[in-house]
Chains A and B, each alone.
Chain A
């Protein structure tokens, strides 16, 4: 199964479970959780079901294209279901089957892995799902986001698309993956890994990054003051990205690092609070979907 077929299979599967198939959000981010379709939608009482591919940037994980499975840019497949449904583990296992992984022939284990994002002020309990010892999915019941306790609880599934595809295609390096029948992952992204590793570790202008961080932080605060929470949150995401590049650049002391994380978290909290308030003023519009035909997932 090619990478693109794998994505299509997941789209098809989760669309059948009444998830909205969202498109990637066009701001750099370290994980699919940062996408407003997760971070903001999990807040407040409105039901929400979505699935999407998310390009993620993790500058510190770059290896100049030399490591078989560490990448500074890769694709997560993210599913969020709120409120979480009783048979979500079963659904997840069924989704593996649609990708051609028969859980009866493999060793699939749910290993405790409680998730916490200090930058988003979010945490949850769950597992990493391991397929024959390999982590392929992060499975989390969100308990808090942006410092707000969540009710109802959202369940988040994050598939490591490349890892699963490597497994299915039985290749030892991510660059050998067939993205499509004709084109490999390496054809598409190897040079990007080389270039961005060089950029993140060596070329990035530290002074510029610090300025960017501060400007985005200021912009975020300013926009929050004008009740423009969605644009404000864009800038919050950007601060997180500049922070990640600074981190890869080795430009921060550990103390400084903690300080930056605290600043991003502060913005995320303020955005979360502003978002809930705004939705409340709008009368929590998606509450009308409660009990709609999409509700019981079977």
Chain B
């Protein structure tokens, strides 16, 4: 009997409502962490803690994590002092073997009981599908929470992941900045752990400056945390607000208070972004109001806002008409009686920044943007893909082709002028200093040079949408330029074999393609990108861009009708349909794989998806699809290629009815499709439901007479073709099946 005995764990049913509980605190004190890393680490810390407690059968109440630049912490309420005990059941020999006919234990059961470490008379029986067996029930008493946590806490700290970590001492431990203290406290008891050469205690450290204590100073003892419950309060008294949501609230209040009195308000567009940065950069959240010289208001507002935001993390202030005021709101990490010194310092720094911006603005306008274009020869687009000048040349041609394809020849010239100028601001001093101002400065400088309004607008907006929430360009020239720039970028990288894979997309090609989808769909642009993509590749070819490093054979494998870039765009269209519009996966796939996928008219595909998604909600849709799929399967199975129906030879009324319906509906569907009325086309298809159903009820496709059979198969093929003219509807999953 060597077969493995089934055994199972059963957590004791006893509730622990009345068991004694405690509270727990872990604080990882470190030198200042990068602000972006704090929130994600807090989330991880809470999750890892909860998982540990659950895995270790430690019942617990609320788990909350906190974070400031100098600490990540987690507090657990109502933590059980001991693990929940478990019963383990191990099946032994069958009852018939374990006991003799008089009910006394046999050698077999004695041996089993001994091996399991339980008394023979404690053995119980269990009924299993195989019969009745004896069973040893072993109680595993829970370990103390202190012991379990002491063992596992270091693992939790080291399992936190960060985008960038460092070493600092011989322990070799990696963390974003050096770990300097640890608190591991259960109730009033310190759990002794050691991470990176730091031993845990119950001592924390308050605000670096306003609190009396400073870590590393042997003369001070830090802040004694007596019990986890008082953690937040003790630190707050020492100038540290550990809860980020509270810091956020305090900062909001402060921002409001500093602007409410007059006709001012905080500039909205970057407020949330700056607020998050402030929340996670400060331990003691405060804001001060400062001023700058009003003469700098002559600079473009974008320059002022960017200058305040990017370098200093300052909020800008606007009046009721959203005009910038010569003030700023600076987040500070201290509250001291006299903030004048700090205000003056911040004002002086901003003044120097603005003086620099003014210098660039002045210098940049000494020459015309057009004169800078040749400098793009010296700017590498990508080392395998030549210079930005070459890219500019390609974009000029592509945007011309796009203007033609979109039927807006009247703006072709403006498109090409904008394309010619659109990268030139990259070689200006201002954009060198503030890369975020690319496009914005191009527009300003183009306007200064007297370029036309459409050209200036296009240069200003062609990077849009920069983020998934950003607007698409508003002008036709801006849209076409944005599409041309993106198509060229995608074509070029694919041409050089640099293709996103998995999570790797260093050049943001997915984002670029997604932006293109949004412009085409949201601005309603009908463009057959297939041809334009061929042209894009042709341009790269003609420029002799070095493609030596492309994988051999890749080119040969290219299907001219569906370039890899188009496949990539279709993939982004899928994503758009699925996640932005919430379309069903089968709906999206049936259109992508339909007969029009290869045209590259992305808007048309989108409209088809939209119509198909709408019709799926009609109750006739699923029954219709059942009939269609039956027809499709038969045609597919027979590989029936002919759709020539001999109407004379249709004998059965249901055959004739279906034939007639197909003829009528096909014409109607074609008409609807031609006019772009996809909803109408699908509505007409629904009319086929009844004739199809009746056909299948009335006749046998596999008629014994070959002629009849052939005729019926051809009829079904007509049905199949009719449906498939919209999309590959065989991919639609009938719901409830």
Report which A residues bind B (CB closer than 8 A). 63, 67-70, 83-84, 86-87, 89-91, 93, 103-112, 114, 124-125, 127, 131-134, 141, 143, 151-153, 167, 172, 252-256, 258, 298
Contacts and interface: CB of A to CB of B under 8 A. Distances in A.
Contacts of A133: 312, 330, 345-346, 349-350
A132 B217 contact: no
Interface in B190-213: 208-210
Interface in B160-196: 164, 166-170, 176-178, 180
A111 B216 contact: no
A45 B343 CA distance: 45
26 contacts: A63-B359, A68-B352, A68-B355, A83-B169, A84-B169, A84-B178, A87-B215, A93-B214, A104-B209, A106-B334, A107-B334, A108-B208, A108-B333, A109-B333, A114-B164, A127-B32, A132-B344, A132-B345, A133-B345, A141-B177, A152-B170, A153-B166, A153-B167, A172-B351, A254-B380, A256-B378
B195 to A, nearest CB: 14
A84 B200 CA distance: 21
Interface residues of B, number: 51
Residue of B168, B330, B355, B379 with most partner-chain A CB within 10 A? B168
B350 A112 contact: no
Contacts of A112: 32-35
A18 B21 CA distance: 51
Contacts of B359: 63, 67
B69 interface: yes
A125 B69 contact: no
B180 to A, nearest CB: 7
Given A107-B334, A109-B281, A153 B168 contact: yes
B365 interface: no
A104 B336 contact: yes
Contact of A90 (B168, B216, B379): B216
Contact of B168 (A69, A141, A253): A141
Given A107-B334, A132-B349, A141 B178 contact: yes
A106 B338 CA distance: 9
Contacts of B169: 83-84, 152-153
A125 B333 contact: no
Contacts of A87: 215-217
Contacts of B523: none
B31 interface: yes
B333 A107 contact: yes
* 5 nearest CB pairs, A to B: A132-B345, A253-B378, A87-B216, A112-B34, A110-B32
B216 A131 contact: no
A64 to B, nearest CB: 11
Contact of A106 (B33, B215, B312, B342): B342
A87 B208 CA distance: 13
B378 A86 contact: no
A187 to B, nearest CB: 22
A69 B33 CA distance: 29
Given A67-B355, A67-B359, A134-B345, A86 B216 contact: yes
Contact of B215 (A90, A109, A254): A90
Given A253-B378, A255-B383, 17 more contacts: A63-B359, A83-B169, A84-B168, A87-B215, A90-B217, A103-B208, A103-B209, A108-B209, A108-B333, A111-B281, A112-B34, A132-B341, A133-B312, A133-B350, A153-B166, A253-B379, A254-B380
Contacts of B177: 125, 141
B216 A89 contact: yes
Contact of B341 (A90, A106, A111, A153): A106
B348 interface: yes
A69 B69 contact: no
Contact of B380 (A67, A83, A91, A255): A255
Contacts of B312: 133
A106 B344 CA distance: 11
Nearest to B346: A133
B139 interface: no
Contacts of B336: 104-105
Contact of A143 (B166, B178, B333, B342): B166
Contacts of A106: 334, 341-342, 345
A288 to B, nearest CB: 19
Given A67-B355, A70-B356, A134-B349, A86 B180 contact: yes
B354 to A, nearest CB: 11
Nearest to A142: B166
A151 B348 CA distance: 40
Interface of B: 31-35, 69, 164, 166-170, 176-178, 180, 208-210, 214-218, 281, 312, 330, 332-334, 336, 338, 341-342, 344-346, 348-352, 355-356, 359, 377-380, 383, 387
Contacts of B338: 105
A115 to B, nearest CB: 12
B167 A107 contact: no
Nearest to A114: B164
Given A87-B216, A107-B333, A141-B178, A125 B166 contact: yes
B378 A252 contact: yes
A27 to B, nearest CB: 28
A67 B356 contact: yes
A255 B210 CA distance: 50
A47 to B, nearest CB: 13
B398 to A, nearest CB: 23
Contact of A132 (B170, B342, B351): B342
A63 B356 CA distance: 10
Contacts of B346: 132-134
B166 A141 contact: yes
Given A125-B176, A143-B167, A90 B345 contact: no
Nearest to A132: B345
Contacts of B218: 298
A112 B281 CA distance: 9
B461 to A, nearest CB: 26
A162 B350 CA distance: 17
A181 to B, nearest CB: 24
A104 B339 CA distance: 11
Contacts of A90: 214-217
Contacts of B208: 93, 103, 108
Nearest to B70: A110
Contacts of B217: 87, 90
A192 to B, nearest CB: 20
A141 B175 CA distance: 12
Contacts of B378: 252-256
Contacts of B209: 103-104, 108
Contacts of A108: 208-209, 333
Contacts of A67: 355-356, 359
Nearest to B337: A105
A44 to B, nearest CB: 15
A255 B387 contact: yes
Contacts of B178: 84, 86, 141
B361 to A, nearest CB: 14
Contacts of A143: 166-167
Contacts of B69: 110
A160 B180 CA distance: 27
A83 B167 CA distance: 11
A110 B180 CA distance: 16
Contacts of B32: 109-112, 127
A292 to B, nearest CB: 18
A256 B387 CA distance: 12
Contacts of B167: 143, 151, 153
Given A84-B168, A112-B32, A258 B380 contact: yes
A191 B387 CA distance: 39
A16 to B, nearest CB: 16
Given A110-B31, A141-B178, A153-B168, A105 B377 contact: no
A122 B214 CA distance: 31
